[in-house]
């Protein structure tokens, strides 16, 4: 990773780490020899290690976690498996990622509306907009991203969570831009539900995700549909049975992609061996360096350097004295093997631990060169 270019799109997709390549190769070697009778990478061992790592990262009981294919799947399964009161509202952030919008749209036909809450220019302002809506509207569910996927602005969740708990409002977290990006403590937040992708900040494979489900659903939750793996002792196919697995396990409703599980297991092993505090500290340093570079080059972002607000997503929103076209800058950087993306009129930069100081120095030179040619 990072040999021939600079990957600054970790909030999107992720190149496969060398450690994961090695581990997956070992899995295929063993599976090629023994098939499902391989002993090193068994279903239970790999699943157990994935859940252990996620439990430590999220400060929760690993048995509250289940594995899915992606955020949309997990969010849809939860959305279709719960009950909401008619004539109430679902609140989400404006310009939210579709995986946290489309799964709620079926509620419109059942008398529940979706309302988009304005995104502020700071974490505190965004929090204030949500609290105002919560206090003045009849809300049955709130589904939030801890970090806005376009701007990188983090959203404080504690006061919103407290209001939801005190007023019996479902509190849902779309963790795809939060988990592995910023510290998240589910023991303190106690959401009803969280869903996240395995790729992005966790460096895992496309097509894999996970969910967290509150313990209060243990005796009442039933997934929208019943699959081969939603029942206990699912390895014995007959006789048919009606005893369901625990609520989180129900999301693993049928045959899984074992190679994806091994891939995800390996990236979590890698990050866990470094230590999550060190990972967050390193990425906080990289993000602040990027923000400082942007400031020094007379550019501006949604966040400012050294203000105590951390997000792995850093944006270039404009130039203080020149016309700014993010698509043109993205094309120029791509030609120089720097990989970014454009979101909501911004160039989005998202560094992770493979990014080095020399990479950032090279980026600064390229940005200087680009804007010098725009004059």
In this prediction, residues 172-199 reach a mean pLDDT of: 97
My answer on whether 118 and 185 are in the same domain is yes
Does 298 reside within a domain? yes
Q: Where are the alpha helices (DSSP H) in the chain?
A: 18-34, 43-58, 71-79, 123-136, 158-166, 186-189, 258-274, 276-296, 326-335, 357-372
CA distance 39 to 33: 11
Percentage of the chain with pLDDT > 90?
91
What are 238's two structure tokens?
């007959």
pTM score, two decimals? Answer: 0.95
My answer on whether 244 and 325 are in the same domain is no
My answer on whether 294 and 256 are in the same domain is no
Question: Residue 147 gets which letter from DSSP?
Answer: B
What's phi and psi for 349, nearest 5 deg?
-115, 135
If you average pLDDT over every residue of the chain, what do you get? 95
Does 6 reside within a domain? no
- pLDDT confidence tier of residue 142, bands split at 50, 70 and 90: very high
Domain count across the chain:
2
My answer on whether 310 and 269 are in the same domain is no
Q: Does the N-terminal peptide bond of residue 87 adopt cis geometry, omega within 30 degrees of 0? A: no
Q: What is the CATH number of the domain that holds 311?
A: 3.90.1150.10
Does 9 reside within a domain? no
My answer on whether 265 and 296 are in the same domain is no
How confident is the model over 304-346, as pLDDT tens digits? 887 778 889 999 999 988 899 999 999 999 999 999 999 999 9
Full domain range(s) for residue 301: 275-372
My answer on whether 265 and 306 are in the same domain is no
My answer on whether 189 and 283 are in the same domain is no
What's residue 333's pLDDT? 98
Does 85 reside within a domain? yes
My answer on whether 201 and 312 are in the same domain is no
Does 91 reside within a domain? yes
How confident is the model over 202-233, as pLDDT tens digits? 999 999 999 999 999 888 899 999 999 999 99
What's residue 1's pLDDT? 55
- pLDDT confidence tier of residue 2, bands split at 50, 70 and 90: low
In this prediction, residues 38-48 reach a mean pLDDT of: 94
CA distance 162 to 159: 5
Asked whether the predicted pLDDT for residue 375 surpasses 70, the reply is no
What's residue 226's pLDDT? 93
Which contiguous run of DSSP H or E holds residue 93?
A: strand 88-93
Does 33 reside within a domain? yes
Asked whether the predicted pLDDT for residue 373 surpasses 90, the reply is no
Identify whether the C-beta of residue 139 lies closer than 8 Å to the C-beta of residue 117: no
My answer on whether 309 and 326 are in the same domain is yes
My answer on whether 26 and 171 are in the same domain is yes
My answer on whether 255 and 286 are in the same domain is no
From 273, 296, 322, give the residue that closes a domain: 273
Q: What is the CATH number of the domain that holds 266?
A: 3.40.640.10
Does 187 reside within a domain? yes
From 273, 303, 322, give the residue that closes a domain: 273
My answer on whether 257 and 320 are in the same domain is no
Biggest CA–CA distance in the chain, Å, is 75
3 state DSSP class of 116 = strand
From 229, 250, 273, give the residue that closes a domain: 273
Does 316 reside within a domain? yes
């Amino acid at each position: 990773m990072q040999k021939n270019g600079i990957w600054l799109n970790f909030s999107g997709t992720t190149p496969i780490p060398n450690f994961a390549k090695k581990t997956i190769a070992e899995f295929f070697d063993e599976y090629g020899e023994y098939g499902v009778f391989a002993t090193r990478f068994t279903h239970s061992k790999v699943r157990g290690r994935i859940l252990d790592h996620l439990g430590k990262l999220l400060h929760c009981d690993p048995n509250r976690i289940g594995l899915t294919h992606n955020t949309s799947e997990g969010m849809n399964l939860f959305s279709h498996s719960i009950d909401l009161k008619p004539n109430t509202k679902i609140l989400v952030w404006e310009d939210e990622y579709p995986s946290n919008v489309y799964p709620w749209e079926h509620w419109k036909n059942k008398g529940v509306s979706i309302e988009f809450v304005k995104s502020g220019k700071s974490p505190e302002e965004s929090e204030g907009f949500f609290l105002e809506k919560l206090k003045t509207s009849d809300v049955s569910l709130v589904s939030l991203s801890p970090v806005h996927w376009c701007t990188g602005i983090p959203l404080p969740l504690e006061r919103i969570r407290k209001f939801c708990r005190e007023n019996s409002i479902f509190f849902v977290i779309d963790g795809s831009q939060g988990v592995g990006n910023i510290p998240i403590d589910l023991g303190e937040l106690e959401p009803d539900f969280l869903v996240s992708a395995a790729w992005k900040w966790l460096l895992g494979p496309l097509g894999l995700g996970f969910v967290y489900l509150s313990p209060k659903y243990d005796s009442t939750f039933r997934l929208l549909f019943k699959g081969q793996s939603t029942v206990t002792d699912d390895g014995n196919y007959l006789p048919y049975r009606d005893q369901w697995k625990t609520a989180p396990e129900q999301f693993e409703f049928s045959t899984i992609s074992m190679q994806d599980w091994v891939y995800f297991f390996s990236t979590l092993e890698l990050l866990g061996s470094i230590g999550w505090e060190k990972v967050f500290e390193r990425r906080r340093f990289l993000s602040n360096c990027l923000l400082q570079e942007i400031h020094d080059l007379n550019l501006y972002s949604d966040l400012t350097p050294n203000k105590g607000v951390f997000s792995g997503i850093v944006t270039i929103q404009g130039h203080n004295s020149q016309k700014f076209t993010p698509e043109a800058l993205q094309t120029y950087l791509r030609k120089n093997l720097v990989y970014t993306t454009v979101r909501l009129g911004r160039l989005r930069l998202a560094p992770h631990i493979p990014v080095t100081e020399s990479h950032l120095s090279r980026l600064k030179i390229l940005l200087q060169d680009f804007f010098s040619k725009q004059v």
